[in-house]
A and B are shown apart, each in its own frame.
Chain A
């Protein structure tokens, strides 16, 4: 396999070194790559596969299996809207629809201004204060459409 630019990527090499000797290191490595780089590219996959003595297909298979891992950069913030039952019981579908309208995208999409990527999530564990939304790592409860508008405005102004 031809060497790619990313083979020399210092960040990736550092991450690989940090995880050397770890049991079952693949998920922690993928988390670290996504956290620092923002996404996991085919070049990352190739380099990680070589470091762990796995086939590229095996690593790609893991990246594509899990909802959380992404192969392209998201918007500046990721908005997770809960679709699960407890949120539905509190009119969460209205919040979902509102999020799609306000950001002008469906799940998986990024708003035109590049600020927000919208993702569906199945339970944020905030079911006694439904509907729930999480922006990056900040969790919000009782998110009505009006409250969602205010939350997004707050993030836009940051």
Chain B
């Protein structure tokens, strides 16, 4: 019988040589005369162990080896890889590894396990149970279920998903849309990408449920063009779903229609802002819209539109399959359920950890992340992307909870955590935050468009030692203007990383250079 082998097709695994490892394995098997069945799966999230190779042993268990480069393959095969034999790279079952066992994988349950574009694999692992249940419910019941689950927008704004859905449901319109915001531009975040590459059908099912719930028949996934791999996976998965009747004019024989299309962005961070994204989908410059009206009332092409992040929509299938009560049992306070957290930057064990809300930064950085990759002390972490605050060590015990983070002037955002060691220059990071805002500003409002450029200049003067105190006062006042005067979060939140750097790391601004 053929030996079953699993290797990730995730972009991060490919970036570390998974394709080359795959080729080497096929070559080694052929020359040895061993018959293998190789499945490309998503990533288990242990990026430091990629390329990860899993081999099914005689008792049907998947035994992991990693990181396996193409150069390791001949030695591994000689040692008995195809029989899951011992080796220094042998890790055992992924499920038994503490890093993995300590997680609560709800949204990411199938990622790394199944063939991402196989409907049979998806259904065998609980897929489409949510849609089946939804098809037996009324629209109001589906929306109520999402509302009751406590799910809040995972893109960063944390607005209750059910309320968006209810608003769209209440609109009387023959044309409604479901739009997925897959413009994951925040540095340090990659959970959207991993879900789209590792379990795209989960997102497709979530969007289908959303469409059925509010009476929308057309959905768009707006994907950033920096994610070509995710685009391929999504298109393959959509075609597979359509071929099996999970998408199309008659979803699962329900008589209800839902169609889905992937649209590529063109390199504009601002498209992560939902109204800018809608402008872009309509074929315009991605300039932020004034609101009201809300997209739920007048969204894409002026019609009522559900617009949710990938992880929000990807959490819907399990909520419908297991019930709202099951999902809301996870978490703390008003942050219910789980969050796929991304450990990035200077960490020994970077990757994706899905945990219930309430886990502390310290647990994530040290228990999961293993401390810094460089071996030096972690000095600062940025949580929630380029608009998130920089936090010093004294705040590492903050639990991941929307309200707890707001209380310390920070944000959970999309759950990305970027760690920096003690070589980081926080004044330069503050300058970068302003520079990034200037590069990515859509230009519609003055505080963001002009303020960001002035911000770079003010910080440059501080770095050059020109009237440091006066310029620090100026910087604070500028940040205040940007925060309160900008139309959207880009200009409005760039002050978070800037001012948190000033507050928590004043020495980096005052020292002579």
**Chain A interface residues toward B at CB < 8 A:** 23-28, 30-31, 52, 58, 61-62, 65-69, 80, 84-90, 121-130, 132, 134, 137-142
The chain B residue sitting closest to A130, CB to CB, is: B345
Residues of B within 8 A of A62 (CB): 283-285
The answer to whether A127 and B263 have CB atoms under 8 Å apart is no
The chain A residue sitting closest to B380, CB to CB, is: A89
The answer to whether B264 and A128 have CB atoms under 8 Å apart is no
Residues of B within 8 A of A125 (CB): 11-12, 184, 189-190, 192-193, 226-227
- Contact mask for chain B residues 287-328; partner A; CB cutoff 8 A; 1 contact, 0 none: 000000000000001000000000000000000000000000
The answer to whether B283 and A122 have CB atoms under 8 Å apart is no
Closest chain-A Cβ to B171's Cβ sits at a distance in Å of 19
**Which residues of B, 146-193, contact A by the 8 Å Cβ criterion?**
184-190, 192-193
Closest chain-B Cβ to A37's Cβ sits at a distance in Å of 15
* CB-contact partner of B429 in A25, A61, A85, under 8 A: A85
Q: Does B200 contact A (CB under 8 A)?
A: no
Residues of B within 8 A of A88 (CB): 429, 432
The answer to whether B266 and A30 have CB atoms under 8 Å apart is yes
Pairs A-B, 5 closest by C-beta atoms: A128-B350, A26-B283, A84-B187, A127-B344, A89-B345
The answer to whether B15 and A140 have CB atoms under 8 Å apart is yes
Q: Does B419 contact A (CB under 8 A)?
A: yes
Bound form: Cα–Cα A85–B50 in Å: 22
* CB-contact partner of A89 in B351, B352, B424, under 8 A: B424
Bound form: Cα–Cα A25–B220 in Å: 13
Q: Does B418 contact A (CB under 8 A)?
A: yes
The answer to whether B350 and A66 have CB atoms under 8 Å apart is no
Bound form: Cα–Cα A65–B185 in Å: 16
The answer to whether B267 and A66 have CB atoms under 8 Å apart is yes
Bound form: Cα–Cα A58–B282 in Å: 13
Residues of A within 8 A of B420 (CB): 89
What count of chain B residues pass the 8 Å CB interface test?
61
Closest chain-A Cβ to B512's Cβ sits at a distance in Å of 22
Q: Does B402 contact A (CB under 8 A)?
A: no
Bound form: Cα–Cα A92–B346 in Å: 11
The answer to whether A126 and B12 have CB atoms under 8 Å apart is yes
The chain B residue sitting closest to A119, CB to CB, is: B267
* CB-contact partner of B266 in A27, A85, A130, A137, under 8 A: A27
Given known A24-B282, A122-B439, A129-B50, contact A90–B263 (CB-CB < 8 A):
no
The answer to whether B285 and A24 have CB atoms under 8 Å apart is no
The answer to whether A142 and B346 have CB atoms under 8 Å apart is no
| 25 sample A-B contacts, Cβ–Cβ < 8 Å, listed by A number | A23-B301, A24-B283, A28-B263, A65-B268, A66-B265, A66-B286, A68-B266, A85-B187, A86-B188, A86-B418, A89-B344, A89-B424, A90-B345, A90-B346, A122-B440, A126-B11, A127-B342, A128-B344, A128-B351, A129-B12, A129-B50, A129-B350, A137-B228, A140-B15, A142-B16
Q: Does B116 contact A (CB under 8 A)?
A: no
Residues of B within 8 A of A68 (CB): 225, 265-267
Bound form: Cα–Cα A132–B347 in Å: 15
Q: Does B280 contact A (CB under 8 A)?
A: yes
**Which residues of B, 177-215, contact A by the 8 Å Cβ criterion?**
184-190, 192-193
The answer to whether B15 and A139 have CB atoms under 8 Å apart is yes
Bound form: Cα–Cα A59–B479 in Å: 34
The chain B residue sitting closest to A58, CB to CB, is: B284
The chain A residue sitting closest to B497, CB to CB, is: A85
The answer to whether A122 and B436 have CB atoms under 8 Å apart is yes
Q: Using A86-B418, A89-B344 as known contacts, list a sample of 5 further A-B pairs with CB atoms less than 8 Å apart, ordered by residue number in A.
A: A69-B267, A84-B436, A125-B189, A128-B343, A129-B15
Q: Does B455 contact A (CB under 8 A)?
A: no
Q: Does B331 contact A (CB under 8 A)?
A: no
